Chains A and B, each alone.
Chain A
Amino acid sequence: MTDTMPAGDRKPIAPPVDETGPLGWARKNLFSSWGNGITTVVLIAFVVWVLSWFLEWALFTANFTATTGAECRGGGACWALIREKFRYIFFGSFPYEQHWRPLFAIIAMLAMLVLSADRRMWNWRLLVIWGLGSFVTFLLMFGQLHIPLSLILVVALVAGGIGLALRSGLATSSERMAYYALVGIGAVGLVLRIAGVLPKWSIAIAPLSYVETSLWGGLPVTLILATYGLAFAFPYGILLALGRRSNLPLIKGLCVGFIELIRGVPLISLLIMASVMLPLFLPSGTTIDKFLRAQVAVILFAGAYIAEVIRGGLQSLPKGQFEAADAMGLNYPQKTLLIILPQALRVVIPPLINTFIGFFKDTSLVLIIGIFDFLNTANQALVDPNWAGFPGEVYLFAAFVYFIFCYSMSRYSKYLEFELNKGTRR
């Protein structure tokens, strides 16, 4: 007789209850020794205490309905302040009865960003989305757009030039003719315009009342500064990064000089230069819009940082990739755009998004030059003597809104890494 049971009769016995499930997990991770047990209990008590205090303040004793700050005093959180001020915090001094305009501008911008986050859109559609999104955003914010002839000519010239460079050797003769036509029209038109033959002419689209940038405020300002700051800084940063690796000494020198100069000074000093020094150098009577000056400062600053991030990606590529592209007979733009950048950018997504998140928050520095971004309008809400004395509520609210944006960006970066690395994952 053997003491082994036949295989069919063996019954797997579940492990003891206190080894599996939540209980087992807790036992293993939280109460594995006396010391750990005590630490766990103390920490749980602390968390519960803090949380209950916070809930008591933020919910149970909070005031949601007061009509003046005085009524709010003494109790818990004064959310009535946010209720009173949220329109100002979100839209600043934009004419009150027209707040729907910045609201829809925010929606248009968010839609534009969400759509362009989808990889399926990463082709010619991206241009359409951004063109349309930007047009709607600025039409709503300004109310009236005047598109000058020279801008149209510059766009034609640039579009034709890019087409020629990228599609060289690939395009059919009629396509190539179209690019030559665009370049020709753009170049000849601009020369004629500068020579004064063509009149100063612009397309006016003016369905709404004009609202100038000094009245803009709140979330649209933060979003515009960050979105367009980064949207322009990104290609600009790529150019700088490529320039820094160029074999031509002049281009390389200029790019290195620019990057090091910008990285060597704080953003605040650039903003102050743009807002205080620049007007003194301009001829009397000429002023450049303050908002535009800040926007350009943000673009220049972000460009230098993005360039350095992208350079890291470029340097990570093996030399063989460059040589293989050369061997295939691709020209420099084709090589760069089709072979090098797709690989280089994939590597640098995490640091790139990190830079983006940083800059989204850095836009709040414009408050030192008197532009009312989201954080600054929140600050202004605190100054109102009728409602003063509740900084916690206002800053929590502002932090909450910033968190939504920054956290979405960080989640998106995670998704993008997953998507783009599918090819290299096993």
Chain B
Amino acid sequence: MRNRIAAAAAGFAVAVLGFAGAAHAGKDLDAVRARGTVNCGVGIGTAGFMLADSQGKWKGLSVDVCRAVAATIFGDSEKVRYVPLTSQQRFTAVQSSEVDIVMGNATYTLTRDTALGLDFTGIYYYDGQGFMVPKKLGVKSAKELSGATVCVAPGTTTELNLADYFRTNKMTFKPVVIEKVDEIRSAFFSGRCDVYTTDASSLAATRAANVPPPQTIDDYVILPEIISKEPLGPVVRHGDNQFADIVRWALFAMIEAEEAGITSNNVDEMLKSDNPSIKRILGVTPGMGKALGVDEKWVYNIVKQVGNYGESFDRNVGMGSPLKIARGQNALWTQGGLQYSPPIR
């Protein structure tokens, strides 16, 4: 009997809390709505992720996540105010409400997620340390690199990861340790070392930008092995769970749309689909938008204006861009990657 009363009390408490949560939106979301724009902190120019183009418009994979959030809240992906931030400023800026979201290619770690008073709401790019080699070496896997000379920056986790990886796989290597990034690059491209190792996204940017002519980007390959975890995620501050939910699900919606085969080109036809899952995602069967506290057409707006995750990836960092990064870990879980969205239902 006592148990039943306790259970009823707990149920009542949950119901009251839940009701209180739904009744009024958090202060951050209210502020965003009142302002009419999402303040999105972006890092200072990183190719493929966030960079102003020749017309001064911000473009990139990280920028697209901000646009998806704006499309979710306002139905218009252009209602974003971009605030350029350096890596020292980015967390302060979100703590002090200067921006609502930081898309500064920040690695998701426990300390940042907790002690700084911030929340990571997902992972839009699985980065990690990789290896780049000249194609003429004919190497297909990092496991074949035994005895290679490796260009690496000193005193970084990169150097430690490198040593660990080779030791674990019982291989040897000769490190060529160079302090300055420019010098590492020229050493690698002039053939002083066989392998260059750093974060895979930065390997791709180097390959796109710094290959000296007459060599071309096709003369270098980034090996599929990724030996460290650098998951990059959007950051919001603690305290407004509803806003955090919107940021979380805006990214999930991009991933879910790719999995469901909804693209910016076919999204209008998809509205007529009989598939109950697609009907739910696109808001033809209402409910999802109401639960999130936004318009029912939120996923439609995201996909129509920004595109699904695969489109954005391809356009900004993938094969449709100069960076030509393979999907790798960022492929959908159905295709052997790690990108996975909880179901929208």
The docked-state distance in angstroms from the alpha carbon of A285 to that of B32 is: 12
The residues of A that contact B86 with a CB separation of less than 8 Å are 368-370
Of B94-102, B129-137, B307-315, the segment with at least 4 beta carbons within 8 Å of chain A is B94-102
CB distance from B38 to the nearest CB of A (A): 13
> CB within 8 A of A280: which of B96, B210, B322?
B96
B37-60 residues with Cβ-Cβ distance < 8 A to A are 44-48, 51-58
The docked-state distance in angstroms from the alpha carbon of A25 to that of B325 is: 64
The docked-state distance in angstroms from the alpha carbon of A376 to that of B45 is: 10
- State whether the Cβ of A92 lies closer than 8 Å to any Cβ in chain B: yes
A268-296 residues with Cβ-Cβ distance < 8 A to B are 272, 275-276, 279-280, 282, 284-285, 287, 290
The residues of B that contact A389 with a CB separation of less than 8 Å are 209-211
Task: Closest A residue to B98 by CB, please name it.
Answer: A287
- State whether the Cβ of A168 lies closer than 8 Å to any Cβ in chain B: no
- State whether the Cβ of B18 lies closer than 8 Å to any Cβ in chain A: no
Let me know if A282 and B51 touch, CB within 8 A: no
> CB within 8 A of A73: which of B54, B205, B213?
B213
CB distance from B222 to the nearest CB of A (A): 14
Let me know if A279 and B98 touch, CB within 8 A: yes
A349-385 residues with Cβ-Cβ distance < 8 A to B are 367-372, 376, 379-380, 383-385
Let me know if A275 and B89 touch, CB within 8 A: yes
A222-278 residues with Cβ-Cβ distance < 8 A to B are 272, 275-276
The docked-state distance in angstroms from the alpha carbon of A84 to that of B211 is: 21
Task: Closest A residue to B55 by CB, please name it.
Answer: A96
| Residues of B contacting A: mostly | loop
The docked-state distance in angstroms from the alpha carbon of A386 to that of B88 is: 28
Let me know if A370 and B56 touch, CB within 8 A: no
Let me know if A388 and B47 touch, CB within 8 A: yes
Of B53, B209, B210, the most chain A CB neighbours within 10 A belong to: B209
CB distance from B318 to the nearest CB of A (A): 12
Q: Give the size range of A's interface with the partner.
A: 35 or more
CB distance from A97 to the nearest CB of B (A): 9
Let me know if A93 and B52 touch, CB within 8 A: yes
Of A85, A280, A389, the most chain B CB neighbours within 10 A belong to: A389
- State whether the Cβ of A220 lies closer than 8 Å to any Cβ in chain B: no
> CB within 8 A of B96: which of A94, A272, A284?
A284
> CB within 8 A of B84: which of A88, A212, A370?
A370
> CB within 8 A of A87: which of B55, B89, B98, B208?
B55
Let me know if A214 and B84 touch, CB within 8 A: yes
CB distance from B104 to the nearest CB of A (A): 10
The residues of B that contact A21 with a CB separation of less than 8 Å are none
CB distance from B186 to the nearest CB of A (A): 12
A287 in contact with B97 given A214-B83, A379-B45, A380-B45 (CB within 8 Å)? yes
Given contacts A214-B82, A279-B98, 9 further A-B contacts (CB under 8 A): A74-B213, A87-B54, A214-B84, A290-B98, A383-B46, A383-B51, A384-B54, A385-B47, A385-B205
A-B contact pairs, 25 of them (CB 8 A): A84-B54, A87-B54, A87-B56, A88-B56, A91-B56, A92-B56, A93-B52, A93-B56, A96-B57, A212-B81, A214-B82, A272-B88, A290-B98, A368-B88, A369-B89, A370-B85, A376-B44, A379-B45, A380-B44, A383-B209, A385-B321, A388-B209, A388-B210, A389-B210, A389-B211
